Amino acid sequence: EAGVTQFPSHSVIEKGQTVTLRCDPISGHDNLYWYRRVMGKEIKFLLHFVKESKQDESGMPNNRFLAERTGGTYSTLKVQPAELEDSGVYFCASSQDTRGLYGYTFGSGTRLTVV
Amino acid sequence: QKEVEQDPGPLSVPEGAIVSLNCTYSNSAFQYFMWYRQYSRKGPELLMYTYSSGNKEDGRFTAQVDKSSKYISLFIRDSQPSDSATYLCAMSLLYNQGGKLIFGQGTELSVKP
């Protein structure tokens, strides 16, 4: 079974530019999550999709972040325009269980550096 | 105040030692507790989960939850160099519809041969 795939693995962009991160969940997993780890801080929840619908987007920092999930398959997270404080590692995870009771499967993350 | 507190370490132990990793939390509504392991440049990997007070054992790993003290622990017996990683506690509300996890900061563990 293929795991959760994220790309790019690394991205370095200038402040003000746009970056789009992509996540391919495990096939058949309706639940898709985005998390972020800023340096020195804990991993924090951004949002949760159930199929193509946003179930919970309470962790999205501001309206510069836009997440989509096309047809309930892969998801993208766009940051526009990027700011320095957006630097960090963005993780995607997926699960079959809506409540995440049996844990998620995480991808390896996208390391974003805004300079 | 953070909802979940975890000592970031780093923690260095000799091979074969017993390792104790801990987290405290402030939200008494948390009912579901997990430990993840994260190797460098990889995503977190679920090690253990539990939703009740008490102990749960899986091989060399034991997870312990004390809801009255809002304290959870992970014990690693006979630690191996391959156990060197960052260990993250995570928790959620059992009936949280979204399965949103709240993570601790993670403890970096190094097991020396």
Query: What average pLDDT is seen over chain B?
Result: 92
Q: What is the DSSP string of B16-34?
A: T--EEEEEEES-TTEEEEE
Selected for mutation to probe chain B from A54, A56, A99 (highest B CB count within 10 Å) is A99
The pLDDT confidence band at residue A101, using thresholds 50, 70 and 90, is: low
Amino acid at A94: S
Of A33, A36, A25, give the one whose Cα is nearest residue A2: A25
Within 8 A of B34 by CB-CB distance, chain A residues are 103
CA of A59, closest CA in chain B: separation in Å? Answer: 10
3-state secondary structure of B82: helix
* pLDDT at residue B95 greater than cutoff 70: no
Selected for mutation to probe chain A from B101, B102, B105, B108 (highest A CB count within 10 Å) is B101
Pair of tokens at residue B61:
């790993």
Query: How far apart are the C-alpha atoms of A70 and A52, rounded to whole Å?
Result: 6
Amino acid at B34: M
**Tens of pLDDT, residues A22-74:** 999 999 999 999 999 998 899 999 999 999 999 999 999 999 999 999 888 99
Contact A48 B99 (CB under 8 A): yes
* pLDDT at residue B96 greater than cutoff 60: no
A37: nearest CA in chain B? B105
Within 8 A of B91 by CB-CB distance, chain A residues are none
Contact B44 A106 (CB under 8 A): yes
CA of B87, closest CA in chain A: separation in Å? Answer: 12
Percent of chain B with pLDDT over 70: 96
Selected for mutation to probe chain B from A104, A108, A110, A111 (highest B CB count within 10 Å) is A104
Is residue A75 a contact partner of residue A22, using CB atoms and an 8 Å limit? yes
Percent of chain B with pLDDT over 90: 76
**Tens of pLDDT, residues A76-95:** 999 999 999 999 999 999 99
Q: Does B48 touch chain A (CB under 8 A)?
A: no
